[in-house]
Amino acid sequence: MDKNNERECNEDLIRERRKCNFNIEELTNIVDGGKARTARRREIQRLLINDPEFLDEIPQDYMSHEDRYSNELRKSAHLMQKLADQESGHDIHQDIGALTGILKDGNPLMVHLSMFIPAILGQANSEQQEKWLGRSLRNEIIGTYAQTELGHGTFVRGLETRATYDPTVEEFVLHTPTITATKWWPGGLGKTCNYCVVMAQLYTQGRCYGPHPFIVQLRDEETHRSLPGITLGEIGPRLGLNSNDNGFLKFENHRIPRTNMLMKHSQVLKDGTYVKPLHNKLSYGTMMLVRVGIVGACSRSLQYAVTIATRYSAVRHQSEIVPGQPEPQILDYQTQQYKVIPQIASVFALIFSARSLSKIQSSVTAKLKDGNTDLLPELHSLSSGLKALSSSDASWGVEVCRLACGGHGYLASSNLPRTYTGTTCAITYEGENTVLLLQVARYLIKSYRSIGKETGASSVSYLADQTSLASSSSSFSNKALVQAFKLSALSLVAEAEARLQKLCDMGQEFYHAWNYCSVLLLKCAEAHTRYYICEKYEQTVDSLKASEGVKNVLQSLCRLYLIYHITLTHGDFLKCGALTPRNIAVLEGEMCDLLAVLRPQAVSIVDAFDIPDELLGSTLGCWDGNVYQRLYDEALKSPLNKTDVPDAYYKYLLPLMKSSL
């Protein structure tokens, strides 16, 4: 599609684009993280969308379960080959975002890339990396991360799979003692992988040392048959991601060499002596790494959904605002703006907090190399909170975008259903959100109780700022609004701590008191993480060196985001005195003004996300707005339309209709 050729474009969209008052390319660079990254993303995407191998012969929704898997594996393998062939040598992990949209509905190699390779990098010592890293990066072996079991997903300490060390032959014996110990869910495990990282309870010298990672060969490298002592399969259809082969795995006293325990952090020596790690949660490092990645991935899902919903809202006309006048664009309804525009604002919130989290992760990783684990708890808390809020915000945002597209949003060809199922899974995987938020709450209560002790953790230093509990602000700058978020979080933490203490003082055990307060604790964790997101948003926009147009748009989006979230949880702001009822009413009015200010820029802002039609894959969101023809053409692809009268008519309907004659 030639974006300069207006003649091919829907007239509403032409008019919308003419209203643009900022430099779109500049905003695109901000979204990508710099000009060079925009160029790189475009180069990769060009490479992919011009390649006919990535086309589906028929839409995936009409394929059988086996064909969906096989078709996706064909494209995934082609993609890996293609990227490996590039002279410039692409770093697939750096470029993972550019691939969004090319592989649809989950793909069998995703966990190989996003968890198996990172597990080797983060958990294997240098000798082990030498043995397995190169091979896995060159795709000579394909792996997954097998942690979850039928009986235990959340509670990693409760895993049942055993790895028992036998010093006589220097081997571990892997065993699945019960049905509930069956590994269940790992992506690519069913049919694709021939290796995996297994999390199993380590037993040596008669003691259990908790879950540790082991690398295990599952299938013969020549025949791809599963090895003796190993039972493997696929777990069946899911809500979404159905072109992946999420699998199950059982071990029957399967032996692996001692050196297959990933030994970067803890070791079992030849005689069975256990050498403990610097920090006993370092074996959870792969999960933490991926949680950080999920924040960025969620922002991309939301970019897709909001691009579709905004363009469609500009093209779609329905009902009337002024009686008797032509039907307006649905984007002119304030209620429609309230659905779509806050989701645009949310995209930037997620992008900026993902970047901030990534930086913290890099510095914690650097410190870990020097044996310093001091900031690991803070990274665990931040990555857990941001993974939880980004996945729930994005899932809700995608769903709102689907609803904003009315009936057509329910069609597979809108690509909104698949975007939703591909996002909502992130609420559950890599740590179920409630559970992760309770980890954040645990960290908050602990930090609150240790006020005065220097921990170096900056994200919770505000908890010591007791004076702010009394200082309600009368100013309404963005900074002042961020202060209100801080006050609300601080006051919730103080309330939860007091309630916990009171229950304990009344004689309850701490863990019962904890469970009894956990709804409030969840709120603390959400408020704390929201405050973090708001603060990063405000700081990033404030310090941005950008043209006036771009800065204005981002300022308005940031302000909308702050006010939108205040109005959603206004009770918390009122309760702690951060804002008065009058303040809330004024802010609600201002939110409507912001929607009106941003409305004319909405199409141009989503254009700045720069998602090619071929990747967006949506009849409703295409660049040219030729929505109705595309919907019609897609409908014609239904196999039911191959014949005027389907066979099923003769088999079932005709006999029924004639039976009463």
Of 326, 346, 493, 330, which Cα lies nearest the Cα of 407? 330
Q: Annotated binding residues for FAD, as ranges? A: 148, 187
Residue 392 engages ligand FAD in binding (rule: CB under 6 A): no
Identify what 434 binds: ligand FAD, ligand LFHR5U4W, none; CB under 5 to 8 Å per kind.
ligand FAD
Q: How far is the CB of 355 from ligand LFHR5U4W (least distance, A)?
A: 14
Residue 287 engages ligand LFHR5U4W in binding (rule: CB under 6 A): yes
- DSSP class of 624: T
DSSP H helical segments within 279-415, as ranges? Answer: 285-315, 334-369, 376-404
Q: How far is the CB of 155 from ligand LFHR5U4W (least distance, A)?
A: 6
> Is-catalytic flag, 430?
yes
Stretch that binds ligand FAD, among 42-50, 140-148, 220-228, 293-301 (CB under 6 A): 140-148
Residue 146 engages ligand LFHR5U4W in binding (rule: CB under 6 A): no
Q: What residue has token string 């009413």?
A: 585
Residue 623 engages ligand FAD in binding (rule: CB under 6 A): no
Nearer to ligand LFHR5U4W, 391 or 601 (CB): 391
**Cβ-proximal residues to 35 (8 Å cutoff; 6+ apart), any chain:** 29
Closest CB to ligand LFHR5U4W: residue number? 293
Residue 520 engages ligand FAD in binding (rule: CB under 6 A): no
Q: What angle do CA 233, 236, 238 make, to 5 degrees?
A: 140
Burial of 498 (0-12, 13-18, 19+ CB in 10 A): exposed
Q: Annotated binding residues, as ranges? A: 148, 187
Q: Give the largest CA-CA distance in the chain.
A: 89
What residues between 160 and 189 interact with ligand FAD by CB under 6 A?
185-187
Residue 205 engages ligand FAD in binding (rule: CB under 6 A): no
Q: Residue 648 is inside which H or E element, if any?
A: helix 647-648
**Cβ-proximal residues to 587 (8 Å cutoff; 6+ apart), any chain:** 476, 563, 566, 567, 579
Contact between 188 and 77 under an 8 Å Cβ cutoff? The reply is no
Contact between 60 and 99 under an 8 Å Cβ cutoff? The reply is no
Give the total of residues touching ligand FAD (CB under 6 A): 21
Of 88, 82, 94, 93, which Cα lies nearest the Cα of 117? 93
Is residue 166 helix, strand or coil? strand
Catalytic residue among 378, 430, 497, 535: 430
Q: How far is the CB of 133 from ligand LFHR5U4W (least distance, A)?
A: 8
Mask of contacts with ligand LFHR5U4W, 537-556, x by CB under 6 A? --------------------
Of 70, 54, 64, 61, which Cα lies nearest the Cα of 190? 70
> Which of 429, 531, 561, 564 lies at the binding interface for ligand LFHR5U4W (CB under 6 A)?
429
Contact between 531 and 461 under an 8 Å Cβ cutoff? The reply is no
Encoding tokens for residue 407? Answer: 């009936």
> Which of 172, 420, 429, 609 lies at the binding interface for ligand FAD (CB under 6 A)?
429
Start-to-end CA distance of the chain, whole Å, equals: 57
> Which of 282, 302, 379, 438 lies at the binding interface for ligand FAD (CB under 6 A)?
438
Closest CB to ligand FAD: residue number? 153
Of 103, 140, 133, which Cα lies nearest the Cα of 118? 133
> Which of 293, 342, 385, 422 lies at the binding interface for ligand LFHR5U4W (CB under 6 A)?
293
Q: How far is the CB of 525 from ligand LFHR5U4W (least distance, A)?
A: 12
Identify what 510 binds: ligand FAD, ligand LFHR5U4W, none; CB under 5 to 8 Å per kind.
none
Phi then psi for residue 246, to 5 deg, are -55, 135
d(CA 501, CA 165): 44
- DSSP class of 207: E
Residue 125 engages ligand FAD in binding (rule: CB under 6 A): no
DSSP H helical segments within 370-457, as ranges? Answer: 376-404, 416-428, 433-449
Nearer to ligand LFHR5U4W, 277 or 406 (CB): 277
In DSSP terms, 146 is beta-bridged to 198
> Which of 1, 435, 451, 654 lies at the binding interface for ligand FAD (CB under 6 A)?
435
Encoding tokens for residue 178? Answer: 């019960």
Stretch that binds ligand FAD, among 58-66, 97-105, 432-440, 588-596 (CB under 6 A): 432-440
> Which of 36, 39, 435, 451 lies at the binding interface for ligand LFHR5U4W (CB under 6 A)?
435
Q: Residue 146 is inside which H or E element, if any?
A: strand 143-146
> Which of 108, 122, 143, 153 lies at the binding interface for ligand FAD (CB under 6 A)?
153
Q: How far is the CB of 296 from ligand LFHR5U4W (least distance, A)?
A: 7
What residues between 212 and 271 interact with ligand FAD by CB under 6 A?
241, 246
Residue 284 engages ligand LFHR5U4W in binding (rule: CB under 6 A): yes
Q: What residue has token string 């329905």?
A: 318
Residue 105 engages ligand FAD in binding (rule: CB under 6 A): no
d(CA 522, CA 524): 5
Nearer to ligand FAD, 119 or 611 (CB): 119
3-class secondary structure for 462-477? Answer: HHHCHHHHHCCCCCCC
Q: Give the binding site for ligand LFHR5U4W (CB under 6 A).
A: 93, 96, 110-111, 114, 118, 121, 145, 147-148, 154-157, 187, 281, 284, 287-290, 293-294, 297, 376-377, 380, 429-431, 435, 439, 442-443, 446
- Looking at the annotation, which residues are catalytic? 430
